[in-house]
Structure 1
Amino acid sequence: MPALIPPTERLRASFLAAMAEFRAEGRGDRQDHTMVGSEIRQHGGTWHTAPGFARYVAELRAQELEETPRAAGWVPATTLWWADGDEYLGRIAVRHRLTPFLLEAGGHIGYDVRASARRRGHATAMLRAALPVTHALGIDPALVTCDVENAASRLVIERNGGVLEDERAGRLRFWVPTARS
């Protein structure tokens, strides 16, 4: 049964296969400003080696710490992987606070599911599982956004209680309660 886990070196082979799927979709080019796209550009040249992948995992895990150095405009974020045994299915990142940019476009939570695992409810389940983590960080409700044309992501957000606030620059902005009654 899939579960959220901290990034781990144990999933390296499956993670690399997932990144190949994302690359096959065109992810990772200079126009791709997603988490996956950025990480393909930044780490894709080294994570095929065991030491390179270990550094990547350590960097991801360190990003949740306030004291970790990060680029201007970036905030602490907890990244969790959605995995079934040794199979990497996707990832979710919970940003600990909003910057003006994140308030407009990125939100508190971002997620990706690898192509071969889509349309099986993983994104909905992954977001549902991340809401208690988000709540434990003191975030309630959480801002979650998606592109206007991304009907699948909109459904994921709505299935998790997301309430549409508005549309800004081609992005739908939803507030999702993190406390469950």
Structure 2
Amino acid sequence: MVNHATADRIRLIAPTTELHDAFLDCAFEFGDGHRDGFATDSISDDDLVDPERFAAWVALRASYADEATELPPDRVHDTLSWIVDERDPERILGSISCRHRLNDFLLNVGGHIGYGVRPSARRRGVATAALRLALEQAKTLGLQRVLVTCKNDNIASARTIERNGGVLEDVRESPDHGTVRRYWIDLAQGD
């Protein structure tokens, strides 16, 4: 059940060094698990803690949104945002990444949009609202359809995607990522 009061207050903000401690609090709430949508795969937790390295990472992630930035061959341009509630905008609830296009890995496993909501903020409609906002970002990028994926056993994420218009295309096995549900969302619907 989506908490509409919460959903109406959810905002996506650009990562900023001013929220370094809030980001660490959010990211480390996941423990040793993978942080979907956080784009922290290229930086160690020790580097995230260091203010200078964190600032360099924030700047690097901002550059990924700029289509003029030359990226490594295995990367695509993406817009990284942090999820906040406008009532407490200095507490980060999660992170979401809107990829501008798909490479082979993203087509098969990762999708256009990846997101993660900190465990203490789940079951309140945060992910559903954040995904809705990321779909608006995708529209501004000119995307007509987006692929959103989740682990087959992640029922909450599957429901989040379905609430945002996701239509299941298939369920695939990935050697490194287990069983993945692949949903397409038509952005032209309702226009």
Q: TM-score, normalised by structure 1?
A: 0.88
Deviations, residues 113-142 of structure 1 (Å, cap 9, x unaligned): 111111111100000011111011111110
Shift of 1:35: 5.0
Alignment of 1:33-52 (within 5 A): 34-36=36-38, 39=40, 42-52=43-53
SS in 2 for 1:171: strand
SS in 2 for 1:94: strand
CA contact (8 A) 2:27 2:35 kept: no
The RMSD of aligned alpha carbons is 1.9
Structure 1 position 158 matched with structure 2 position 168 = no
Alignment of 1:20-35 (within 5 A): 20-22=28-30, 24=31, 26-27=32-33, 32=34, 34-35=36-37
Gaps of 5+ in 1: none
Deviations, residues 89-134 of structure 1 (Å, cap 9, x unaligned): 1111111111122111111110011111111111000000111110
Cα distance between partner residues in 2 of 1:34 and 1:90? 9
Q: Which moved more, 1:129-138 or 1:152-161?
A: 129-138
Comparing both structures, which one devotes a greater share of its residues to helix?
Answer: 1
SS in 1 for 2:46: coil
- How many residues of Structure 1 are paired with residues of Structure 2 in the alignment? 174
4+ residue runs over 6 A deviation: none
Alignment of 1:134-145 (within 5 A): 134-145=138-149
Structure with more contact order per residue of length (Cα contacts < 8 Å, sep ≥ 6):
2
The 1:101–1:40 alpha-carbon spacing in structure 2 relative to 1, beyond 3 Å, is closer
Give the one of 179, 187, 190 matched to 1:178.
Answer: 187
CA contact (8 A) 1:94 1:134 kept: yes
Cα distance between partner residues in 1 of 2:132 and 2:147? 14
Q: Match of 1:77, as an amino acid? A: D
Alignment of 1:12-23 (within 5 A): 12-22=20-30
SS in 1 for 2:150: strand
SS in 1 for 2:68: coil
Alignment of 1:36-75 (within 5 A): 36=38, 39=40, 42-75=43-76
**Which residue is equivalent to 2:124?**
120
Gaps of 5+ in 2: 1-8, 174-178
CA contact (8 A) 2:147 2:182 kept: yes
Q: TM-score, normalised by structure 2?
A: 0.83
